[in-house]
Amino acid sequence: MKKHLLPLFTVMAAFAMFGCNNTKVPATEKKTGESVVETAPAETAAPADAQEVAGTKTVKLSNGASVTWIQDNESEKLNPISLFGDVSDSLVESLNMPEGIPASVSTFLLQADGKNILFDAGLGAFGGKMLSRLAALGINADNIDIVYLTHFHVDHIAGLVEKDAAGIDTKAFKNASIYAGKVEYDAWMEHIPKNDLQKMVMELYRDSLHLFAFGDSLPHGVLAIDAIGHTPGHTAFQVSNLLIIGDLMHGYALQKDHPEINSNYDMDKEKSIESRKRIMQYAKDNKLLMAGMHLPPPGFAE
Ligand SMILES: [Zn+2]
């Protein structure tokens, strides 16, 4: 972790992200890097336009809804080549990314029909920044209506939980319904080892948990798509021209041209490859904007 790089990276990321569109950078932020750092997202920040909050980016969808990328990890994230088992030396060389492949831990906020809908909940107590970035966007956790889950790995569900004043695990989103795939739920509840966190989270939300099947049409125009492989019930979601791809890719620069390459996190190698190829082709055929939980900032790919 390059923690000392955080402020600089935050500034650079903000400018890199927004430098090429017509977003106005407030005059005070133009002068020095330090003034930008002082205005970094904080719990007390006033509601701001989405495009002025570092680590976020908002895109309008064809149906008029909007989706905001929210970077959950604190600073720069590079996934090492060693995470991808079956890469030839020549391919590694041609990639020319000796430091690692740019990635992120990301969540996405869909705002549709007056509702706030999250896709995955991020790292939570394990370094997650989503809640503070939501606050900087003017959104309180109690105003999240739905959380859709792509799968049950820790970096996607730990953010559903927070400690209360007494140190007891409690819901981070008190008013949210949780939507999870039945295949994923059954796998984690029944036979995947080391599932303490998954069981605790599902128990917490037992009264507001909805289990879906692939192909189900879910609230606010969301369609659940089989993306099995990374986990037993790994799910992609389509809404309008947006395709949430979950953990289909952990090294976009490598896997966009080589969908046959898995990361070591992919539990079923064959199915992961099949899903990656099929879903990337589906996105291409239908001109969908992909949003991925480990795509490099700003979390979207055409
Ligand atoms: Zn993940």
Q: If you measure from the C-alpha of residue 32 to the centroid of ligand 1, how many angstroms do you get, rounded to a whole number?
A: 35
Q: If pLDDT is split at 50, 70 and 90, which confidence band does 39 have?
A: very low
User: Looking at per-residue confidence, does 86 or 298 come out higher?
Assistant: 298
Number of structural domains (the chain) is 1
Q: If you measure from the C-alpha of residue 47 to the centroid of ligand 1, how many angstroms do you get, rounded to a whole number?
A: 29
Which is it for strands 56-60 and 66-71: parallel, antiparallel or unpaired? antiparallel
Q: If you measure from the C-alpha of residue 265 to the centroid of ligand 1, how many angstroms do you get, rounded to a whole number?
A: 8
Report the mean per-residue pLDDT for the chain: 86
Predicted local confidence at residue 18, as pLDDT: 34
Q: If pLDDT is split at 50, 70 and 90, which confidence band does 123 have?
A: very high
Output the 3-class SS for the chain. CCHHHHHHHHHHHHHHHHCCCCCCCCHHHHHCHHHHHHCCCCCCCCCCCHHHCCCEEEEECCCCCEEEEEECCCCCEEECHHHCCCCCHHHHHHHCCCCCEEECCEEEEEEECCEEEEECCCCHHHCCCHHHHHHHCCCCHHHCCEEECCCCCHHHHHHHEEECCCCCEEECCCCCEEEEEHHHHHHHHHCCCCCHHHHHHHHHCHHHEEEECCCCEEHHHEEEEECCCCCCCCEEEEECCEEEEECCCCCHHHHCCCCCCCCCCCCCHHHHHHHHHHHHHHHHHCCCEEEECCCCCCCEEC
Q: If you measure from the C-alpha of residue 129 to the centroid of ligand 1, how many angstroms do you get, rounded to a whole number?
A: 15
* pLDDT surpasses 80 at 287: yes
Q: If you measure from the C-alpha of residue 22 to the centroid of ligand 1, how many angstroms do you get, rounded to a whole number?
A: 32
Q: If you measure from the C-alpha of residue 294 to the centroid of ligand 1, how many angstroms do you get, rounded to a whole number?
A: 7
**Nearest partner of 205 among 263, 159, 166, judged by Cα:** 159
Cα–Cα–Cα angle for 276, 67, 12, rounded to 5 degrees: 85
Classify the C-alpha dihedral 282-284-288-291 as positive or negative: positive
Predicted local confidence at residue 48, as pLDDT: 47
Q: If you measure from the C-alpha of residue 151 to the centroid of ligand 1, how many angstroms do you get, rounded to a whole number?
A: 8
Q: If you measure from the C-alpha of residue 39 to the centroid of ligand 1, how many angstroms do you get, rounded to a whole number?
A: 29
Highest mean pLDDT among 19-33, 79-93, 281-295: 281-295
* pLDDT surpasses 80 at 180: yes
Rounded average pLDDT over 29-58: 52
Q: How far apart are CA 82 and CA 105, in angstroms?
A: 18
Percent of the chain surpassing pLDDT 70 = 83
Predicted local confidence at residue 19, as pLDDT: 32
* pLDDT surpasses 90 at 23: no
Predicted local confidence at residue 71, as pLDDT: 98
Q: If you measure from the C-alpha of residue 239 to the centroid of ligand 1, how many angstroms do you get, rounded to a whole number?
A: 21
Q: How far apart are CA 225 and CA 217, in angstroms?
A: 10
Predicted local confidence at residue 85, as pLDDT: 85
Question: What CATH number should be reported for the domain holding residue 141?
Answer: 3.60.15.10
* pLDDT surpasses 90 at 29: no
Q: What is the pLDDT of residues 198-255, one digit of tens each?
A: 999 999 999 999 999 999 999 999 999 999 999 999 999 999 999 999 999 999 999 9
Q: Token digits for 288?
A: 């969908």
Q: What is the pLDDT of residues 66-115, one digit of tens each?
A: 999 999 999 899 999 999 987 898 998 999 998 999 999 999 999 999 99
Rounded average pLDDT over 143-165: 97
Q: If you measure from the C-alpha of residue 77 to the centroid of ligand 1, how many angstroms do you get, rounded to a whole number?
A: 13
* pLDDT surpasses 70 at 11: no
Q: If you measure from the C-alpha of residue 120 to the centroid of ligand 1, how many angstroms do you get, rounded to a whole number?
A: 10
Q: Token digits for 71?
A: 């970077």
User: 209 — alpha (psi -120 to 50), left (phi > 0) or beta?
Assistant: beta
Q: If you measure from the C-alpha of residue 33 to the centroid of ligand 1, how many angstroms do you get, rounded to a whole number?
A: 31
Q: If you measure from the C-alpha of residue 216 to the centroid of ligand 1, how many angstroms do you get, rounded to a whole number?
A: 23
Residues 108 and 291: beta-carbon distance below 8 Å: yes
Predicted local confidence at residue 203, as pLDDT: 98
Q: How far apart are CA 126 and CA 123, in angstroms?
A: 5
Q: If you measure from the C-alpha of residue 235 to the centroid of ligand 1, how many angstroms do you get, rounded to a whole number?
A: 12
Q: If you measure from the C-alpha of residue 293 to the centroid of ligand 1, how many angstroms do you get, rounded to a whole number?
A: 6
Q: If you measure from the C-alpha of residue 155 to the centroid of ligand 1, how many angstroms do you get, rounded to a whole number?
A: 5
CA dihedral 129, 132, 137, 139 (to 10 degrees): 110
Q: If you measure from the C-alpha of residue 252 to the centroid of ligand 1, how many angstroms do you get, rounded to a whole number?
A: 13
Q: If you measure from the C-alpha of residue 25 to the centroid of ligand 1, how many angstroms do you get, rounded to a whole number?
A: 32
Domain hosting 126: range is 3-301
